[in-house]
Structure 1
Amino acid sequence: MQPLFIFALIFFYAIAYNLLGPLVTSIMETTHLTLSQSGLLVSLFQIGALVSIALSLYFIKRLRQITLVKIGYIILILALILIGITSGSALLFFLYAAIGFGTFLVDSGSNGALAGDYFEKKELYIPLLHFCYSAGAIVTGYFILPFRGANWRWAYATVGIILTILLVLSQVIRPKREELTKVEEPIQTESNIPLLKNRNFILYTLALMLYMGSQQICATWIPVYAEVELLQSPAIVGTSLTVFWVGVAISRLISGVLLQRGFKPLPLTLWGFLLAGAALALLPLASNIVSALILIALCGFAAGPAIPLYIVETASWFPKNSAFIALVYIVAGTVGRMIFPYLTTRLAEATSLGYALMVSSIMLFVAFLFVLIVKRSGKTEPAPR
């Protein structure tokens, strides 16, 4: 598959991944789901991803990464189109689990395919892949505008159809043989047990889990907060999600420059969590929509590079365990996105979405404390083997 199609597919994959947030009020109105039931959709999405992770441990050594990508897209496309052509809410829960299953294969497989088939250009292609995801997430808030209300199912079907066209074209227009780079043999990894015994690695991973749970809460419920509690128009609701992802995208772009200029991942992560947590804590106190949008953008920007910074830092501690670190990061993120958004909806039903978002800020403050412990310990070298 040519890189152009991998990038184009990941752009619309990002739209599919982020549809729930700006459409959740329309879904609730037409299917009569409660807040906690709509939060369950997010949890089932992550359960599907966990099942995919478990099965991938078996298939990853038997199938090429690009094959896993194609399987993931086929599952994702079927689920999206079925959401578009069916009715009721019972099937929706199952289909969201299927979407979660497919998205993990797409995410991990796309990175692996670019790193393997285009090994010499991986340092260019992989950051570009993540930028395309951020761009798709940014566009989502506006993509859904024609589909709000009773037409929300057509948003899912439309993305499914576009992905189908791109996937078919990617098989018709094949890369030239000379464009492919011979896949290098992977570095033999050492035992993964020392990582699981290393306190700093565990604390840093827990911090990342809290951040990714907080990020999912923001991506899903900030648009709902803007519509239900701030009483904003559909355009402003879409903008609330857009400014969050613009902040994330910008910070991820500049984090690489900062690292090249000598900045360290831990301090950047530490102060990013603190600033993002403060912005979320102040959000329910915002007196107008302009200040609310500024705080939302600041939250996305401050903590946005946490994932790549985590990978850079922990890979420097355990350079021969990078594959296991990537798996741990995905599992931690899946668990964080599965548990915390659902708990937030339970709190929102009892109080308000504003207070629920403040809980998300507390998660970031706890993540800040975990990273602070890691930084102050000064023991970031691998545990004794």
Structure 2
Amino acid sequence: MGTRNLLFVMVMALAFAGSLFGGLGEEIQIACSISLARMGLLMSLSQVGSFVSFLTLPLLARKLSSYSLLVIGILSSSVTLLGMGLSRTASVFGLFFLLNALGGYLYGTSNIMVLINVDRPRMKTNIPLMHLTYSIASIFSGYYITFLKQNTWYHGYVQMAVIYLVMGTLFILYKPAGIDRWEQRKDQKLSDSFSLLKNKAFMKYLIFLILANAVEYCNAVYPLLAITALHAAGAREVGLAIIIIHFGSTLSRLAAIPMLKKGFSAHRMLVSLCLVSMLGLIGFFLSSNLLWAYVSLALMGLGMGAVNPVSQVLELSSWPSDLLQLANIRSMGSTLGRIGMPLAVGFVISSFSISASFLLLALSMGLAALFLLTSKAKPASC
């Protein structure tokens, strides 16, 4: 079994595990006595683990290969998923949620690095294809969430913990040859691991990434909580909502692959995606019934779906000199946004309403588009 195939299977498992918190939010709130406003605080605090990983990754990368970091991330996530499933208080669940973010950061940062190293000639096809695989798996995760909501919610966390353990073991058993030649970083200065932060064009682009990824993070949770609170959605309706948003995301990523191969501008594609996402968020803010909310969810998925794969292709073409630094700073940017945005959303919910939070997210996507337009990232021909 090739490493590339294992990476694609793992991203399917990630899609199912990633749907648990948002899809089972109501059950988690009841079981662990967590209010809707505190869910936002929990999401922000969990990113402290990611921030710790960001600071320590350059040091770890001098001792360990990206493949080793990948395996560590998967196995540690297995433990934390099990802990989340067994938790019955807000503090214990929050602790494992934080630790899960730490392990998830190691996996998420190393995943693309390993994919590039095992199949570099097809890099610009494999990256969008991996995101597409995630979207397709996420569609089916909606049925899984419906099943869990109708039965025992915490079984999902236990089952995902077992799957992560199996996948981590397979990565160990099928370790590819030549890993030591992938990265030579032992003599690199620590300051070189953050040199891109001195690039003004990159900083503007990074602000775009921070905002866009923060909105995507919130889109995985708050729309599902909103349709429950505003439209009295049950298990089937929430499951359908997950399917709809990921179906839109899948279409977006499916369209991105041939467009990039034909030489479409990744920069222009990203601006267009931001505008579609804004339209979906505004539509959700204005939705007066479940049908209109579903249409808005489809637009949100269509807009956000291809943002990550297209932006990764743009990055690799514009700043190709240090892939690990790029992956780490990208993940750091996502972490900062995921700390701040849920807090802002929680404040809006407490002060106004849950529907008003989607107006905040729409404005954030508009601001992200403005920073993207002012950046000077110039990708090579795809």
Counterpart Cα distance in 2 of 1:325 and 1:85? 36
Q: Percent identity?
A: 23
SS at match of 2:355: helix
- How far is the alpha carbon of 1:209 from its aligned partner? 0.9
Counterpart CA distance in 1 for 2:164 and 2:196 is 38
Q: Which residue of 2 aligns with 1:55?
A: 56
Matched, 1:356 2:346: no
CA distance change for structure 1 residues 85 and 185 in 2, over 3 Å: closer, same or farther? closer
For residue 241 of structure 2, what is the amino acid of its counterpart? S
The 3 A distance-change label for structure 1 pair 366 and 53 is: same
**Maintained 8 Å contact 2:84/2:96:** yes
Please state how far the C-alpha of 1:165 moved relative to its aligned partner.
3.0
Tell me the equivalent position of 1:154.
155
| Distance (Å, rounded) in 2 between the aligned partners of 1:196 and 1:19 | 34
Q: Specify the alignment match of 2:225 in structure 1.
A: 224
What code does the residue aligned with 1:336 have?
G
Query: How much does 1:381 deviate?
Result: 6.5
Greater CA deviation, 222-231 or 295-304?
295-304
Q: Deviations over 1:190-210 (max 9, x none)?
A: 978874344332222111211
The residue type equivalent to 1:79 in the other structure is T
Following superposition, the deviation at residue 94 of structure 1 comes to 0.7
> Counterpart of 2:264 in 1: which secondary structure?
coil
What's the secondary structure of 2:154's corresponding residue? helix
Aligned partner of 2:310 in structure 1 is 309
* Structure-2 residue corresponding to 1:163: 164
Residue aligning to 1:207: 208
1:285 aligns with 2:267: no
Letter of the structure 1 residue corresponding to residue 130 of structure 2: L
Deviation at 1:269, TM superposition (A): 1.5
Amino acid at match of 1:252: R
Following superposition of structure 1 onto structure 2, how do residues 4-23 of structure 1 map, counting pairs within 5 Å? 4-23=5-24
CA contact (8 A) 1:269 1:306 kept: yes
Deviation at 1:312, TM superposition (A): 3.1
Q: String of CA shifts for 1:22-55, please: whole Å, max 9, x gaps.
A: 1111111222211222112211322111112222
Q: Which amino acid aligns with 1:139?
A: F
Distance in 2 (alpha carbons) for counterparts of 1:109 and 1:380:
24
Listed one character per residue, the Cα deviations across residues 116-162 of structure 1 (whole Å, up to 9, x for unaligned) are 24445555544443333223333332212232278322221111122
Distance 1:97 1:106 in 2: 15
Distance 1:288 1:8 in 2: 37
Match of 1:265 in 2: 266
**Aligned equivalents of 1:192 and 1:91: distance in 2?**
34
With over 3 angstroms needed to count, the CA separation of the structure-2 counterparts of 1:26 and 1:14, relative to structure 1, is same
Q: Which amino acid aligns with 1:163?
A: Y
Matches within 5 A, 1:1-385: 2-119=3-120, 122=123, 125-148=126-149, 151-172=152-173, 174=174, 183=181, 195-374=196-375, 379-380=376-377
Q: Is the 8 A contact 1:84 1:155 kept in 2?
A: yes
Closer, same or farther in 2 for the Cα pair 1:368/1:115, shift >3 Å? closer
Q: Hey, what's the Cα distance between the residues in 2 that align with 1:65 and 1:148?
A: 36
Distance 2:378 2:195 in 1: 11
Note the C-alpha offset of 1:216.
Answer: 1.1
CA contact (8 A) 1:9 1:166 kept: yes
Query: Structure 1 residues 3 and 249, CA, compared in 2 at 3 Å: closer, same or farther?
Result: same
C-alpha contact (below 8 Å) 1:281/1:358 kept by paired residues: yes
Decide which moves more: 343-352 or 92-101: 343-352
Whether the aligned pair in 1 keeps the contact of 2:31 and 2:88 (CA below 8 Å) is no
Q: 1:287 to 1:167 in 2, by over 3 A?
A: same
Give the TM-score normalised by the residue count of structure 1: 0.87
Whole-angstrom distance in 1 between the partners of 2:373 and 2:310: 15
SS for the counterpart of 2:88 is coil
For 1:53, the aligned partner's letter is: F
The Cα of 1:79 is off from its aligned counterpart by 1.1
CA RMSD of aligned residues (A): 2.9
Q: State the one-letter code of the partner of 1:318.
A: W
TM-score (norm 2): 0.87
Distance 1:317 1:67, change over 3 A: closer
Over 3 Å counting, the alpha-carbon distance change for 1:182 and 1:129 in structure 2 is farther
CA distance in 1, matches of 2:253, 2:184: 27
Amino acid at match of 2:282: A
Give the letter for the 2:271 counterpart: L
The CA distance in 1 between the partners of 2:181 and 2:330, in whole Å, is 24
Name the CA shift for 1:360/1:185 in 2 (closer, same or farther; >3 Å): closer
3-state SS of paired residue (2:340)? helix
